[in-house]
């Protein structure tokens, strides 16, 4: 047909042009329709082609058009300062977006990064709607976080890189990370990511498995993951449990860092599990020997034991007879004579011998007496087998400051020496100690009995929950 049409044109026959093959030229003659042999492309369209040449400043791509497309190096990738040979290779098939059909030099200008951007943005929008994670490679470490290559530059804030704060972000450079899209703004090409959300989702089943496996009373191993003022958090292979400061040691602890350090492996006991809030309360001291058991096994009422004055309060003095075990010497049991101020007789840190008046194992209380110890009376051997407190220097008073058989009277040199030292406030007493000064011995005894009760475990657990809920590192 084409030949017949062409022949007709040459002999003055039919002059009808066949669409896609022949077209009418400017002088009315039939000429081949070359444009119809190439695909129609428009600016902003994504086309597919093959890399035919890679230069240091541009890449040539054959897209089946009448001329090869040119991708400037700046349009290859979202990365900065790259070598084109590192991004594409001759013979590689790629997608590119048409920027300009003809520039001032008549070239077809393409962009690989913008084509990838358009394709990637659709996937990111779908992921943001469905909640599915996206995967990208970390290409930059910037102030405040990481930049991921998603086809779009995605920003991952440092606080959302991991469940816990990451100290060195450089370790993530070059790694593939799965993140959730938490913020998307097309007009600003802004994508904000969270890897922490993905990790938390992955750990939900793990945490539930841990909760199902554990029961109160279990003794397990863990690693100290964080130390705060009110306790320490323990990593139980995927879930954190809290050791409240009151459960760290049988002895008084001012700060958890006194007995623990981050990274330390410890054996802990499960005290309570809140399955609804996914929280575990742990105890460290419960895995250690209870010094009160030593008291019950080795000491009896009327025994004379040695100890050291732990603190002096308005109603008497607390004496530590074993690490973690303190008894009260009421003001009426300090000396044979009337005592207005316990600091007239004893001082904090002083080594003394005391008589056990009462042992209340159920309530974990000891009543002691200083005045009922006769001069020269020897104490029974220490239950823990430790060195005698009398072999070490007294912490505050001189050796003459406190004769065992008598008490110093007001106005003596001893009182002046005590008063010259740093005063001990009532606030220094343990929380269970009474705060108000009693007027009579009977009232003082009643006050000590009613107000020195240790806090119940339930109270501690409640405090744990309240404090842990405000702590970022608390198990969620």
Q: What is the DSSP string of 162-175?
A: SSS--S-GGGGTT-
What is the extent of the structural domain holding 352? 291-451
Residues 312 and 225 in one domain: no
Q: Which of 293, 311, 295 is nearest to 303 (CA)?
A: 295
Residue 431 has pLDDT above 60, yes or no: no
Q: Is residue 467 part of a domain?
A: no
Q: Do 73 and 107 belong together in one domain?
A: yes
CA distance 397 to 192: 65
Q: How many CB atoms are closer than 10 A to CB 356?
A: 21
pLDDT at residue 457 in the model: 36
Residue 458 lies in a domain: no
Verify that 171 and 140 share a domain, yes or no.
yes
Shared domain for 230 and 256, answered yes or no, is yes
Q: Are 82 and 123 a contacting pair, CB within 8 Å?
A: no
Q: What pLDDT is recorded for position 77?
A: 83
Asked if 87 and 135 sit in the same domain, the reply is no
Do 347 and 388 have their domain in common?
yes
Model pLDDT, residue 33: 52
Note whether 246 and 430 are within 8 A (CB). no
Domain identity same for 299 and 431 = yes
Q: Are residues 195 and 144 in the same domain?
A: yes
Same domain, 267 and 333: no
Class of residue 59 by CB neighbours under 10 A (exposed 0-12, middle 13-18, buried 19+): buried
Q: Please state, for a pLDDT cut of 70, what percent of the chain lies above it.
A: 74
Residue 139 has pLDDT above 70, yes or no: yes
Q: Is the dihedral of CA 229, 235, 239, 244 positive or negative?
A: negative
- Cα distances from 156 to residues 190, 223, 261, 423, in angstroms, run 11, 28, 30, 54
The number of distinct structural domains making up the chain is 5
- Which CATH number covers residue 405? 2.40.50.140
For residue 60, pLDDT beyond 70:
yes
Which of the listed residues 174, 199, 224 is the one where a domain comes to its end? 199
pLDDT at 419 over 50: no
Name the band, by pLDDT with cuts 50, 70 and 90, for residue 442.
Answer: very low
From CA 242, how far away is CA 244, in angstroms rounded? 6
- The answer as to whether 87 is a domain residue is yes
255 is a domain residue: yes
pLDDT in tens, 348-371: 999 999 999 999 988 889 999 999
Q: What is the pTM of this model?
A: 0.43
Q: What confidence category does residue 189 fall into, taking pLDDT thresholds of 50, 70 and 90?
A: confident
Residue that is last in its domain, among 287, 306, 322: 287
- DSSP letter at 472? T
Which residues have CB under 8 Å from 108's CB, separation 6+? Answer: 41, 63, 65, 67, 68, 69, 70, 98, 100, 101, 102
Percentage of the residues of the chain whose pLDDT score is greater than 90: 38
**Tell me: the pLDDT tens digits for 190-218?**
899 999 999 888 878 788 888 888 899 99
Q: Which residue, 56, 81, 114, sits at the end of a domain? A: 114
The reply to whether 62 and 190 lie within a common domain is no
Q: Decide if 457 is inside a domain.
A: no
91 and 155 belong to one structural domain: no
Q: Is 388 left (phi over 0), alpha (psi -120 to 50) or beta?
A: beta
Q: Are residues 56 and 87 in the same domain?
A: yes
Q: Write out pLDDT tens, residues 219-276.
A: 999 999 999 999 999 998 878 899 999 899 887 788 999 999 999 999 999 999 998 8
Is 456 part of a structural domain of the chain? no
């Amino acid at each position: 047909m084409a030949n017949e049409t062409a022949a007709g044109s040459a002999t003055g026959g039919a002059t009808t042009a066949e669409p896609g093959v022949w077209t009418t030229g400017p002088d009315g003659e039939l000429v081949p329709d070359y444009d119809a042999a190439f695909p129609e492309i428009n600016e902003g369209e994504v086309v597919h082609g093959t890399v035919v040449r890679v230069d240091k400043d541009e890449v040539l791509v054959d897209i089946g058009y009448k001329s090869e497309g040119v991708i400037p190096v700046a349009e290859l990738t979202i990365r900065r300062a790259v070598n084109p040979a590192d991004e594409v290779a001759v013979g590689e098939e790629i997608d590119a977006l048409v920027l300009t059909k003809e520039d001032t030099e008549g070239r077809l200008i393409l962009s690989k990064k913008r084509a990838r951007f358009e394709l990637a943005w659709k996937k990111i929008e779908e992921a943001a709607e469905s909640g599915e994670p996206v995967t990208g490679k970390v290409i930059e470490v910037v102030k405040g976080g990481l930049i991921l290559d998603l086809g779009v530059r995605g920003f991952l804030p440092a606080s959302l890189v991991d469940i816990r704060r990451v100290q060195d972000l450089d370790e993530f450079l070059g790694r593939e990370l799965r993140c959730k899209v938490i913020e998307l703004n097309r007009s600003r090409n802004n994508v904000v990511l969270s890897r922490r959300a993905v990790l938390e989702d992955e750990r939900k089943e793990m945490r539930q498995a841990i909760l199902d496996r554990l029961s109160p009373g279990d003794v397990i191993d863990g690693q100290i993951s964080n130390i705060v003022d009110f306790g320490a958090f323990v990593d139980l292979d995927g879930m954190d449990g809290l050791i409240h400061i009151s459960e760290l040691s049988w002895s008084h602890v001012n700060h958890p860092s006194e007995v623990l350090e981050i990274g330390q492996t410890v054996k802990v006991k499960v005290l309570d599990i809140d399955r609804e809030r996914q929280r575990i309360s742990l105890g460290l001291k419960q895995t250690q020997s209870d010094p009160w058991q030593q008291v019950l096994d080795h000491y009896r009422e009327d025994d004379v034991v040695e100890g050291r004055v732990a603190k002096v309060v308005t109603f008497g003095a607390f004496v530590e007879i074993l690490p973690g075990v303190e008894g009260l010497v009421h003001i009426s049991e300090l000396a044979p004579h009337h005592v207005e101020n316990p600091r007239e007789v004893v001082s904090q840190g002083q080594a003394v011998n005391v008589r056990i008046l009462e042992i209340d194992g159920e309530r974990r209380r000891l009543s002691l007496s200083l005045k009922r110890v006769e001069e020269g009376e020897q104490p029974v051997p220490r239950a823990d087998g430790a060195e005698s407190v009398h072999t070490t220097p007294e912490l505050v008073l001189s050796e003459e400051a406190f004769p065992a058989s008598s008490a110093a009277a007001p106005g003596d040199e001893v009182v002046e020496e005590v008063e010259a030292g740093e005063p001990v406030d009532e606030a220094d007493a343990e929380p269970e100690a009474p705060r108000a000064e009693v007027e009579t011995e009977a009232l003082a005894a009643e006050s000590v009995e009613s107000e020195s009760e240790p806090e119940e475990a339930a109270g501690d657990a409640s405090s744990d929950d309240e404090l842990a809920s405000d702590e970022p590192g608390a198990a969620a």
